[in-house]
Chain A
Amino acid sequence: MRLSRLGRLLASFAVAALLVWGWQLIADYKLVSPVFLPGPDRAWGALVKGFSTGDLGVKLLATVERMFWGWLIASLIGIALGAAIGTSPRLRAYLAPMLEFLRPLPASAMIPVAIAVLGLSNGMVLAVIAFGALWPVLLATIHGFSAVEPRLYEVGRALGLSRASVIWKIALPSASPDILAGMRLGLTVALILSVVCEMIAGRDGLGNWILLAARSFRAPDLYAGVILLGMLGYITAVALAVLEARLLVWRNRAR
């Protein structure tokens, strides 16, 4: 069990190393012009330099903050709204068609609207991120709350639990796997929208850094930014997976 996990970890590292090596070969033999594709060595150098002498750390922090707040707002609204809709068949019947209409709209399409209404402000950026990340959380929460075992509600009634206790002790934990899955998706969306907003609205951050590097043909800087984005996505995903595993111990204990 342990060994096979370690084995898989090693294998995935090996694949990653192989890819980086291939990238290095392509760059060394100039299969693609170095103007567009610097080797991993130069990209790494740019990354280190960006952190030590430049302001890459500041940009990273700006993006992380933006992503985090947008995601948090989306999660809080999504869970509260989703709980209300998911527990009420009436609300569900009224709102489901509208939600289905709004859901497939790409959140980036909202950016011009948001700019028109809120201007080129941080509030606009946050609104767009929260709007985009809201959907996965909201829809997953609705599903989670509407799929609570009816028998458990009866147990709650028979035990004389208060309404608040029923929501807090029965409905919410029952919906939590769905909610967490929605929040994981929401976080990915929040990262993407943070970067897109920075590029479109020119807010300070990794997205803007990448865009400026591309415009001035600083390919190593561009790749440094992309690598950083990838790492950020990976780390947040792992952090959420760890949190999920801790919160949902009971799911992994099945016989």
Chain B
Amino acid sequence: MRAPDTTVKATAPVIAFDKITLAFGAKTIISDLSLEIGRGEIVCVIGPSGCGKTTALRVAGGLIPPTKGTVRLLGEPMAGPRRDVAIVFQDYAKALLPWRTAAGNISLALEAAGVAQSERGDRIRDLLAKVGLAGHEDKYPTEMSGGMQQRIQIARCLAQDPAVLLMDEPFGALDAMTRQGLQDEMLAIVAETGATVFFVTHDLEEAVYLGDRVIGLLPHPGRIGIDQRIDLPRPRNQLETRETPEFLRLRRTLFDFIEKAEH
């Protein structure tokens, strides 16, 4: 279980960016970025479009090596993608295998991890139940709504038993109601598994609602402009939390930051 007091962050950081610079050719996308994320922390990353949020997430996932600096995962330098780091992509429709059912898509992660076939069925049922899709194992992605497809992708990531969840605007393409539902489901799952979360979003309210911390990136080149603690009590509630003066104050702070960053 997540400790209710999130200010206690013992031991080494789970993810550590150490003076990361990333360039595509002559263009520097991220410059000298250092960041430490503690165990079980939910860190939301905001910033104007094109400032390098996705790129930072891909570096954290080992999908692209940094040009300079090192990323450490639980103290070890990152050499490439790892099974205990799961990535939830925004474009769920492209990230699922259309020829596999819901169960088959989740199974892919278990197959990759070498889970015996006899154990997969039970694991898949548990994971589907966890994301609220019990009984939908035989549906193909094209037969499911966007929210359901994203849940499948999250279930597939959970099948990796990840210590770290990297999420790139996972709810950005969903309608407001579905998004709020998934936000709460995600918080519950993270509280249960104790995973550390790196969550990129465009939605400032989402960042405040979900995060223990919100990092704001400045563009050209991408660097940290603000590192805001969010001390709203947990468990959070879609109605009450969003109406507290503290929530509104934090939202205002981030709003002002984005406005400055864009000019």
Contact of B91 among A151, A170, A174 (CB under 8 A): A151
Given contacts A158-B81, A160-B81, A165-B111, contact A254 B142 (CB under 8 A): yes
A2 proximal to B (CB < 8 A): no
Grouping DSSP codes into helix (H, G, I), strand (E, B) and loop, the B interface class, with mixed when no group exceeds half, is loop
Asked if A151 and B111 make an inter-chain contact with CB atoms under 8 angstroms apart, the answer reads no
CB within 8 Å for A160 and B140 given contacts A155-B95, A173-B99: no
Contact yes or no, A161 B112, CB < 8 A: yes
Stretch in B67-75, B82-90, B116-124, B177-185 touching the partner: B82-90
Q: How far is it, in angstroms, between the C-alpha of A171 and the C-alpha of B156 when the chains are bound?
A: 19
Q: How many A residues face the partner with a CB closer than 8 A?
A: 23
Question: How many angstroms between the C-alpha atoms of A250 and B98 in the bound complex?
Answer: 7
Q: Main SS of the interface on chain A?
A: helix
Assuming the contacts A253-B143, A255-B142, asked whether A152 and B81 have C-beta atoms less than 8 A apart, the reply is no
Q: Give the contacting residue for A159; candidates B98, B142, B143, B160; CB below 8 A.
A: B160
C-alpha gap A169/B156 in the complex (Å): 15
- Interface contact A157-B142, CB-CB below 8 Å: no
Instruction: Report the separation of the CA atoms of residues A255 and B80 in the bound assembly, to the nearest whole angstrom.
Output: 37
A140-178 interface code vs B (CB 8 A; 1 in, 0 out): 000000000101101111111100010001100110100
B28-41 interface code vs A (CB 8 A; 1 in, 0 out): 00000000000000
Q: Which A residue sits closest to B105, measured CB to CB? A: A155
- How many contacts A-B (CB < 8 Å)? 64
Contact of A152 among B94, B109, B111 (CB under 8 A): B94
Q: Is B173 an interface residue (CB 8 A)?
A: no
Closest CB of chain A to B60's CB: distance in Å? 12
9 further A-B pairs in the complex, CB-CB below 8 A; given A152-B94, A156-B112, A250-B140: A152-B97, A158-B63, A158-B87, A160-B81, A169-B97, A169-B108, A173-B97, A176-B99, A255-B142
B: residues with CB less than 8 A from A are 61, 63, 80-83, 85-87, 89, 91, 94-95, 97-100, 108-109, 111-113, 140, 142-143, 156, 160
- What would be 14 A-B contacts, judged by CB atoms less than 8 Å apart? A151-B95, A152-B94, A155-B89, A158-B81, A159-B83, A159-B108, A159-B156, A161-B112, A169-B111, A173-B99, A248-B99, A250-B140, A253-B140, A254-B142
